Structures are given as C-alpha cells and as structure tokens.
Structure 1
C-alpha cells in the first residue's frame, strides 16, 4: 500500500490549484471560481512540529490577504492530532470528514466488470461535453469556465471517462496517473441513471487505463457519510487507507 503522505502529495498534484505556494511546511492553495475546498485550502506537508505556531499564523495571513475564509485540510488526520487540537483551540470547526481508500488495480479490474450494456468513452484531454457534464453533475456549483481552466491545468496523464445515453453524458469519472499509482476523482452519475452499473463501468475502464500506464494501486476519496458510494468501492476492492477532514475558521 502507498504511504499515506505520498497519496496526499499525489492527490494535491493531480488536482492543481490556480495559485499555490509552499510555505513553512504548508501547501497553500487558492482557485477563484471553484468552490471545492481542496482547491482553496491549506495542506500540511511537513511533520506536526513544523506546521504549528508561526507557520500556522502564516497560513491565516495568506488567506486573510486574499479576503478568503481559512480552510485547513487535516490530512492524513491520523498523523496530525496536534494540529487538529491547535485548530480546535483557535475555534476552527470540523467539516467534511472523508475517507481515503486504496485498492490493487488488478483487483478493481477483476471485480468491477465491463459494465455492459454501457458504452464507456475515454479521452486523455477533457472534451467540451465532458466539461459540461462535470459542471452539471458534480453538484458543487462549479462554473463552466472555471472547470475548463481547472482540468487544463492537470499536467500528468489523465483519463476523462464518460458514459453516454441519448446523446448526453450521464456518468463521468477522472483518473490521474502518478508514479506507481493513479487517483480516481470526479465520480458522478445523473440521479435518473443511478444503480445501473455506470460507476462500476467507469471504474473498470479507468483501472484498465491506469494498469496500462504502470499503476499498481488506485486511490480515491469518499465522504465518510456516503454509505452508497462506500459500498460500491468496497465491492470492487477498495479499503480505507486513512482519513482527513477540514477545519474551517469562523
């Protein structure tokens, strides 16, 4: 299994913010027009002792200078208990508890199945139809223009996967390659087409694509309270690697 901190570094690289700075053991991220917390939060890169005290003050100064709320991604949560306690003492509230899961690529290929009768398309660059579907299905109020900028910033090999029905994409996913592994992002299905095997078909095609590029492991993030998605991922071989959550300054 991949080291938990390495997963978080790969995930940050796979989902690049428009503005990034590494300061005192922190990765500071800001992306105008994109509501995802991952795009607008601080991620601790160093060990606990280096990200507290004055280093934490500089995190707050970075977001204050941009007139933004301060959000900290406490990841991996199991390795940052002191940071979490320090943020709690400053009045930061806990939000968006998330599980990071990993699985051998061969296991996902074997257990996800081809997803018949769905026809799954894969493109290594985002098509206009895929970007439209992301803005429509993701459910986080993404602006189409901001989505276009976001996905064209991804520099690593990537697979933009979609399932079409009646000329419209009804399910999407994104797989981004990294050394020895690949991350799964943006899994979304139109509510009218759920529980029909679309997500499994996307995972199957994405896992085969990742394996062809040398990945031995897949990782993904899932909200801790999303029981349906967790059951799907467990069925195809994913197990919990670690967790993270956000701390938000009032």
Structure 2
C-alpha cells in the first residue's frame, strides 16, 4: 500500500519548477528535470472531461502527455491504456528506520553543500545533468550532498533532503570503476548519520525495478517496499 506521506516527502525533496491543480489532476513543469518532476498525477475523482482538459494542457505546452500512476490506481491505468498510452519505468518506493544503517566510517566520505565540480562530473557520467542539479538547488533546507571516497579518490555522490522527518536520498551515483566495492552502502550510512543529526527518523528512496542490483542492496540494508508507481506517456503534439 502506498503511503501518502512518503510521496509528499519525495516531492518536497525533489520539487518541480512549478505545479498547479487542473481539476482532480496536479500538473507539473519539471523544466527538463526528468519524468518524476514532469508527470501529472491524479489526486481526486477521475472524469473523462478532466482527463481531456489535462491532455489539452500538455498539448498547449507542446509536451507529450505524461502521467505517474501509483499503486491502487489500476482503473486510471486502464483508462490511459485504452487511450493508447505507453507504460514505462516501474519504480519501487523503499524506506527504513535510521537505526537499520551501520554508522558511517570517516574514510568513506562526507557531506557537503553546495555540490562540487567533481560531484557534478560523477553525476554527469551517470546521466544526471544541469537540470537535475537545478532541482537540488531549489530544494528547501535541510539538504546536503554526499561525496563517497575509495581511498583518496572521490568515487560516488548523492543528494539528501528532509521533509517531515523523512530523509530522502536522490541521484545516488557511483563512478563506474568504483562499483561493486561497497561504496553505495557506505554512502547510505553517511546519509543516515546526517539525517539522524538533522532530526529525521527514516531514510527513503525510489529505484527502478530494472535496477535489480540496487534493489538487492537496499533489501540487504533492511529497506522495505511501501509504495510503487510507473509512468504512461503519449505523443499529443505531432512532434517526434
């Protein structure tokens, strides 16, 4: 079962540039920051008229229609499927209390703000570019970045922010040569220590189901799935 407070924390700690209500829908402008901040969501009773109006807004803004479908919204999912929407990117939402994470070791890295040049380079290698850095910059405090190290070499990074005692980690990225050496787990501990010091009681994240290695790691750390979603999209503009 999805937890509404968790989705609130996800949005507060990784916010779109703008959002507005269109009847039962929340319409978002992500300013090129990816699906999560650009998708519309259904927050009330679905009607064909409201869906038509939201599709018209996507078309007016010269955007492909994009909806995030959460667990329990099977009827809405069916409607979109019947309208020819393509489903993609199923995502699991995970959370764990902070006491499940081992204490961080000083040699594994540290927290910092704002992001440094080397962190931006690591993110860029993983496809996390300037538009997503802008999301980090506009996220309210408290927030920090993680810089993970292997020996003396910066090798991983991530972003953490807190909403309503839930710390959420986003954009966790390990440089390719440093993978499968325990750095991601170490950065989770760094994030948990920081979150504890800033009044949080749990650590949460989102991970695509295609990333089976990450799902296995987070499960081993004691994180539990408490929500899910996927996207549906359709080209309404006539452009590629």
Aligned to 2:29: 30
* Distance in structure 1 (CA, Å) of the matches to 2:57 and 2:199: 38
* Distance in structure 1 (CA, Å) of the matches to 2:118 and 2:47: 44
Give the drift of 1:19.
2.6
| 1:54 paired to 2:13 | no
* Distance in structure 2 (CA, Å) of the matches to 1:37 and 1:181: 22
Q: Secondary structure at the match of 1:62?
A: helix
Aligned to 2:41: 43
Aligned to 1:200: 185
Give the drift of 1:124.
3.7
Give the drift of 1:53.
2.2
Q: Deviations over 1:23-68 (max 9, x none)?
A: 223221123343x211221122x24xx2432222222122111111
CA 148–220 in structure 1, closer or farther in 2 if over 3 Å, else same: closer
Q: Could you tell me whether the CA contact under 8 Å between 1:170 and 1:190 is conserved in 2?
A: yes
Summarize the alignment of residues 130-209 of structure 1 with structure 2, pairs less than 5 Å apart.
130-137=119-126, 139=127, 142=129, 144=130, 146-164=131-149, 169-209=154-194
Give the drift of 1:168.
5.9
CA 89–152 in structure 1, closer or farther in 2 if over 3 Å, else same: same
Count of aligned residue pairs for this structure pair: 235
* Distance in structure 2 (CA, Å) of the matches to 1:168 and 1:120: 10
| Structure 1, unaligned runs of 5 or more | none
Q: Could you tell me whether the CA contact under 8 Å between 1:71 and 1:246 is conserved in 2?
A: yes
Give the drift of 1:171.
0.8
Aligned to 2:74: 81
| Structure 2, unaligned runs of 5 or more | 236-240
Instruction: Give TM-score, length-normalised by structure 2.
Output: 0.89
Structural RMSD (CA): 2.2
- Greater shift, 196-205 or 148-157, is seen at 148-157
Q: Secondary structure at the match of 1:210?
A: helix
Give the drift of 1:176.
1.1
* Distance in structure 2 (CA, Å) of the matches to 1:51 and 1:210: 37
CA 99–37 in structure 1, closer or farther in 2 if over 3 Å, else same: same
| 1:241 paired to 2:226 | yes
* Distance in structure 1 (CA, Å) of the matches to 2:24 and 2:117: 37
CA 27–169 in structure 1, closer or farther in 2 if over 3 Å, else same: farther
Q: Could you tell me whether the CA contact under 8 Å between 1:52 and 1:83 is conserved in 2?
A: no
Q: Could you tell me whether the CA contact under 8 Å between 2:119 and 2:156 is conserved in 1?
A: no
Q: Could you tell me whether the CA contact under 8 Å between 2:150 and 2:178 is conserved in 1?
A: no
Q: Could you tell me whether the CA contact under 8 Å between 1:105 and 1:216 is conserved in 2?
A: yes
* Distance in structure 1 (CA, Å) of the matches to 2:147 and 2:117: 12
